[in-house]
Structure 1
Amino acid sequence: MRTRPLKVALLGCGVVGSEVARIMTTHADDLAARIGAPVELAGVAVRRPSKVRAGIDPALVTTDATALVKRGDIDVVVEVIGGIEPARALITTAFEHGASVVSANKALLAQDGAALHAAADEHDADLYYEAAVAGAIPLIRPLRESLAGDKVNRVLGIVNGTTNFILDKMDSTGAGYQEALDEATALGYAEADPTADVEGFDAAAKAAILAGIAFHTRVRLDDVYREGMIEVTAADFASAKAMGCTIKLLAICERAADGGSVTARVHPAMIPLTHPLASVRGAYNAVFVESDAAGQLMFYGPGAGGAPTASAVLGDLVAVCRNKLSGATGPGDSAYTQLPVSPMGEVVTRYHISLDVADKPGVLAQVATVFAEHGVSIDTVRQQGRLDGGGDASLVVVTHRASDASLTGTVEALRNLDTVRGVASIMRVEGE
């Protein structure tokens, strides 16, 4: 074993960073044995140096992150501060000064992954980011390495624990959205401002990363269609249960049937209770991968939290340190296909539409005509019962597979019918 330690700079010492530091200290001997050399925490960049950080030598703490990553003796920089800047500049500077990088920064990778990979390649450095998607779940490396000889056609997953906790509570207890969100906040699953989670921004960044790796093409955050889950109601869950389904916020990345394009999207969807993702409860994550040779694979586990995320960071750290010792680098950016990302209008799936309609003869025929005129075939129709006070009824239509553009045109036309009082809900049906 080499006696000179590999030196690590840690950027950020919050929930994840403090766990990374703790594990590096308590498991130092095991990490050294696995890597082939000792690993030493050489500096910790923070914003508030006066804060007491258990187990970390105060002499290692600095507020000058730039000076830390410029040190010529740093072998690996671990970035867990998040956000776009200064993380982007710090990572680029690390590459320029000979360090490889381990990051958990999904937002930055979704926005500028191609540029960061190019910078890493230019300086013969590694960029690893297992912790950026689905916490402790090994997912990035299986897609980049284990399935490198296969053709991945679809990635379907629950990649945000906060939203899964909320939707699971709504499903299992009948709680409303706000009540479930309040519980998630009290338990620490939701941030004080949960917008990034409940509006789907967090999941969309992860979808961009997954699509890029799975399909060997460049997918940016702006390419991902996004809908949040704040409008999901108890009535939606009742309709889902009537169909033998539940509702999840899904990240879906697909290769077109002809192989000529890809799509990436995040939105709530009904999925059958028989699908493995339907049984993912609480704040857990799970990702379902479909490929030509391997078939169907599912990756499941805790998708957030200090210790689980630190586990993924340390796994990357071991891999990068081994590469340092051997003088090699691991897999870089694989975007050789350069497939276009199709707009949401070209996505084909099934739909569940709930309409408030006038309760009189001929309404169903009018509704069916609108669907037919837009090329959307109806699978089932049922009347949910009368609404209070106006002689109106609730009509639920479930379609066969149709393009999103066709469904959008159908809904616009339905809203123009005098007999349609309103479109109460539109929900995609996936996983069949």
Structure 2
Amino acid sequence: METIVIVGASLAGTRAAQTLRAEGYDGRIILVGEESEMPYDRPPLSKQFLLGDWAREDIALLTPKEVESLKLEFRLGVRATGLDREHKRLLLGVDGDLSYDGLIITTGARPRSLSGLDPHQEGVHVIRTMGDAQRLAEGLRNGQTLGIIGGGFLGSEVASAARRMGVAVTMLERDPEPMAAILGTRVGRVLADIQRQHGVDVRTESMVRKVVVGSVKGVPSVQVINDDETRLEFDNVLLSIGAVPNTEWLADSDVLIDNGVVCDDKLFVSDSIVTAGDVARINHPLQGFQRRIEHWTNAVQLGEVAAANLLAGRRKARSFRSVPYVWSDQFGSRIEIIGSPRGDDRVELLGSEAKDNKRLFVYFRDGAPSALVGINARSWMLGVRRRITDVAELNLAFVENLEKEISDNQAAA
């Protein structure tokens, strides 16, 4: 292959480019990115960058020296408009087309909005880009109240930052507890308690029907209207209700799209196309069904495997079998997930309640472990991650040994 084009110049795309060089590929690598910025890390946008603790250079994924040494070419501020698979051309509209021998699709996802609502009008916010975070930071500096629609990790991290800035925060969550659909009500209640202990007004089973932008006595305000006609006024509102994969540009291609770019377990879309990151919908062996995993570690691992497999070819490529790992920092607490929990899984606490709020939960589905969730349990979770590198290793024997270790450690403390 003389030229590999990576469409999507963020984390997964950057890791794919680095892996291509590490695997010995010496052809052209062209990264196409819709944003005009060079690749940067997104998790700090809702934390350190939002607070002003970190600057642009602190979240850069590549230094100028790395770009030069890796011999990477960038087409930034350019949006893919289509794909001609027959002639192996990436269509870029007025910006011209690019021919490729291999293509890596890493176009990611964008924040979901409410029907009919412009998420970029005054007082309304989402977080995906650096510009989004800068705009929200300005809104928080000038406002006193923030409404967060959605109680997931992103919304909870922004709540943590906003409270540190002295902003009053109300979180509106449609489920009985935050993240109940993924973590169940037991662990969701723990997460809600963390928020409430730091002054967040968490309102569960709150179904938002509409958001209206207006003004009160000449001052811009945002009104949130629930299904029960409850009306709440805020200076700023953050939408944190999930993400939509960026696949519209593939609509006229014959690439299979189903809530993401559908690929096999080796990340191939076709012999010359692979996919990775938030846009990839993979049939993961731990989950037993196809889904996207929208988290940092997954983007890194998928980017690396996709690039290596593209070079190896379909016959020699390896299946993606890494255990999903997710983390979130909220109000000084670290929440970590290893595996793929669901809200209807059976949940058990390993060991006993620790005085320092250090807890480790195990999730079971059909009698087998599906996930481990740690709260302020960094040392335990680090040990687990070191020992589990393949989905097959998350089994009953492993959980039984882990429970004994935790119980012994707690007894000796």
User: Normalization by structure 2: what TM-score?
Assistant: 0.32
Q: As a proportion of its length, which structure holds more helix?
A: 1
Q: Computing the radius of gyration over CA atoms, which structure comes out larger, 1 or 2?
A: 1
User: Normalization by structure 1: what TM-score?
Assistant: 0.31
